[in-house]
Structure 1
C-alpha cells in the first residue's frame, strides 16, 4: 500500500510540498450503505464519484491510503491527448468504431480536465499551453511526422515545428523537431486529485481514506466490502485502483508490468531566464525509449523526469538529470534539487487500457501506460455512466478480455529498471 501523500518525501515530493491541503476525511468505521462503492481515490475513482454524486446517487469512496496516493499524486503532470499508441494503430487493433471512438474520447480528455478545473475552481496550477513531443534522431522525427499526420487527418490542432522552431520554443536542445499539441498542457497532479475529491464531497459523495478493502463478498442484494474498521454494503462497485491494486482485485496490477518513473525539481529558475527557457510554458517529452520529460511548476521550478526508481540507483538518475539539464540549458545556475520522488507506471502488453466487468455489477478500467490524467478523468465519467445505466458496457471503446498475468512479468520489470539505469549511467545522453 502506498504511503499517504506527504508522509514519504520520495513518494510525492514537490506535489505534497505545494498542493493545497486535502479535504478532511476519516477511515470507514462501523457499517455503511451506498448505491455505488468506488474503490480508489485517484483520477478515475474521483471523477466517477463526482459524476455519480451529481446524478444523485449515494456514493462512498474507499481509499487504502490518502487521496492521490498512487499514480495520481506522483506523475509529472502532463495532461496529454491520446495514448502512446499511434492513432492508426489503435484503429487497426480495435476496429473503426471502437478505435475512432477511443481517439475522440481521449483527444478531448485535456479539454474535459481543464473544464472540470474551471467549473469547480480547483487550484491546481492548470496551464493549457500545449505540449511538445520532441524528436530525437531520424527515427524520432519520422515518429512525430507520422503522429502529426494521423492526428491532423482527424482534425486535431497539432503541428510540426522544425529544428530551429523547436529550439526557440524549448530554449535549447538539438532536437530534429517537435510536435506541438495545442489540446494539452500541465497541472499540479496531486492538487488536481485533491480538488476532484473536494468537488465530489461537495456534491454529496462520502470519502473514507486509510480504508483498504480486504475482502469483497457478493450477497443476495449486492456486495459487502470489508475494511479494517468496518463494512460497506453497495449495489454496484467501480474498481479504480489500477497499478496500485491489491487485495480482492490484485490481479489488475499483476497483469501490468511495473515501470518506475522519477522526478526531480530544481529551485525556481531566475526570472531573467524564464523568458527564454520554455517561454510558452509547454510541457515537453521526447521520443527516446527511455524517455525524459520536463515542465515548469507555478513557482518557476523545472520538473525533470525519466524512467527509473530512486532507490539504490538514485545517484545514477540524479547525476543523469543534472547532466541533461546542463546540456539543455547551460546558462541554468547549478543548484541542489529541491525535491525528488517516484512512482509506478503500469504497462499492458499492447499499451492500451482495459475495461473489465470483474463480476456482477463490478466494473473497472485500468492500464493507463503513463497516461493517467486525461484518460483517468474521462474513463471515470464513463464508468459512472455505465453503472448509472446511462450508457451500455458494450459501448465502452476499450478492449475487454480476461485478466492474464504476463509470464515474464518480474523479468520485464527488472529489465526496465536495469535498462533505465544503464542508459542514464553511460554517456552524455542529455535531452537533445
Structure 2
C-alpha cells in the first residue's frame, strides 16, 4: 500500500503547467502560494484589472489543495454559536454568513470557467460515530437551521441506506455542500487566472520579501518582483522567507487511501446519492467516492505505512463486501490547525497580508478568503474581510501539539486495529 501515490494527481482531468519566474517585473499584487487561496485571489484580482503574479515553490496544488479530501463544506469544524463566542456576535455572524455562501462561490466558479473537477453538489453527511454523538449533531442542526441553512437530521436507518453501511447512528445532511476533485479545481483556477491575465510561476520559491521605498521587493532564485501589495497564502506548507516572519501553527497530518474503481454490482449502494462524509470522532474519518467509482477513506495521521493496517481494516468494517478489494492509491497531506480552529488574516507589513489556519476546511474558506483578501489589498478597504485583521498571532507549543496529534492518531488506530 505505501508508495502508491496521490489519486488526485493520477486522475486530474485539468492540466496546468507554468514556467519559473525569470528577470524582473512590477505588479500590483504578488501572491506566494498557488493553492485555493492564492489562486482565487489571483483570479479575482486579475478580474479587477490588476497586474498579478503568483509564485509557487513547487507546482500548482502541490500542497494541501492537491491532497485535500475534496469536500466543499459550508462553515468550519466549529458550530456557528462557538464562532460567535470566540469572535463576538457581530464578527462571528459575519464569518458564519461568508462561509455559508462559500460552496456557492466554488460551484459558480467551476461552472463559469468550465473546470473539469467532478463537481457534485448533492450535499455532505456529518456522521454520528457513536450514539452519544447524535446530541452534537442535533445541536449543530438547531444552530444552522436558526440561520436558515438547508440542513436536516437523518436517522440511523436512513443513514445506512444513504451510506451503504450500518456503522453510523445518524447524520446531519447539509444541502449547500458537495464534492470535487480538488487538484483539478486548483488547476482550473490557475488556468482561469492565467486567462484573466495573471502571471503564474511554478518552481519559484520565494527566498526574501522586503518592503522598501513604498513597494515590496520579492526575491526568487530566477528573478525579482516589485509589488504594491503582497499576499502570503502558503498555509500548512509555508517556507521561511527572509525579512518576513509568518507565525508557526500546529500541523495535523491527514492520509487517504483509494480503492480501484468499483462497479455498481459490488458498491452501488455506497454513497449512491453522491454525498461526501466525515464523522464526529475526535480522530476523524472521512469517506467519499470519486467519478470513477473508487471508495476513498481518510483519517488523521501522516505516515501512510503506520496507518495502513487500520485504514484497510476500517474500510472492511464499514463495507465488508470490499474485503480484498485492491487499494490503488495512498497519500497524505498537512493541515494548519489553530488553537481555536479559526482562520487568521495577519498583517505582514504595509499592504501585505497572510492567511492561514483553515483547520481542515480549505476549499470553501480558501476560495472566499482569497477573493476577499485580493479585493481588500487592492482597494485598501479591509472592512469586508471574513475575519478582522490581526497584527500578530502566536501559538504555544507548536511542535509538541503537532506531535500530540500524530501520536493520538497512532494510538487510536493501533487500538482499533487490535480490536
Q: Is 1:296–1:303's contact at 8 Å kept on the other side of the alignment?
A: yes
Q: Please name the residue that 2:312 is paired with.
A: 322
- Name the structure 2 match of 1:145: 138
Question: Structure 1 CA distance, aligned partners of 2:59 and 2:28?
Answer: 23
Q: What secondary structure is seen at the aligned counterpart in 2 of 1:396?
A: coil
Q: Is the 8 A contact 2:247 2:393 kept in 1?
A: no
The answer to which of 90-99 and 75-84 deviates more is 90-99
Partner residue in 2 for 1:345? 335
Q: What are the within-5 Å matches in structure 2 for residues 32-431 of structure 1? A: 32-248=25-241, 251-252=245-246, 254=248, 256-310=249-303, 314-389=304-379, 392-427=381-416
**Distance (Å, rounded) in 1 between the aligned partners of 2:281 and 2:245:** 30
> Does the C-alpha gap of structure 1 residues 412 and 152 become closer, same or farther in structure 2, counting only changes over 3 Å?
same
Stretches of 4+ aligned residues off by more than 4 angstroms: 9-12
- Secondary structure in structure 2 of the residue aligned to 1:342: strand
Structure 2 distance, partners of 1:15, 1:110, is 20
1:169-200: CA deviations, max 9, x gaps?
11113322100011111100000000000000
Is residue 94–residue 399 contact of structure 1 (8 Å, CA) maintained in 2?
no
Deviation for aligned residue 1:93: 1.4
CA displacement at 1:92 relative to structure 2: 1.5
What is the DSSP-based 3-state SS (H/G/I as helix, E as strand, rest coil) of the residue aligned with 1:393? coil
Q: How far apart in 2 are the matches of 1:57 and 1:327?
A: 53
- Give the Å deviation of 1:111: 1.1
Is there any run of 5+ residues in structure 1 with no aligned partner, and where?
Answer: 1-8
SS in 2 for 1:252: coil
CA RMSD of aligned residues (A): 1.8
Kindly provide the CA deviation profile for residues 225-253 of structure 1, in whole angstroms up to 9, marking residues without a partner as x: 00001100111111111111122287536
CA contact (8 A) 2:257 2:327 kept: yes
For the residue of structure 2 that corresponds to 1:31, the secondary structure is strand
Number of residue pairs aligned between Structure 1 and Structure 2: 417
Q: Offset at 1:119?
A: 0.4
1:131 touches 1:181 (CA, 8 Å); kept in 2? yes
Distance, in Å, in 2 between the alignment partners of 1:277 and 1:244 is: 33
- In 1, are the aligned partners of 2:5 and 2:329 still within 8 Å (CA)? no
1:213 Cα offset (Å)? 0.7
**Aligned partners of 1:253, 1:398: CA distance in 2, in Å?**
17
| Structure 2 stretches lacking a partner, 5+ long | none
Q: Report if aligned partners of 2:57, 2:206 keep a CA contact under 8 Å in 1.
A: yes
| TM-score for the superposition, normalised by structure 1 | 0.93
Equivalent-residue separation in structure 1 for 2:201 and 2:285 (angstroms): 35
CA deviation after TM superposition for structure 1 residue 401, in Å? 3.0
Whether the 8 Å CA contact 2:8–2:67 is kept in 1: the answer is yes
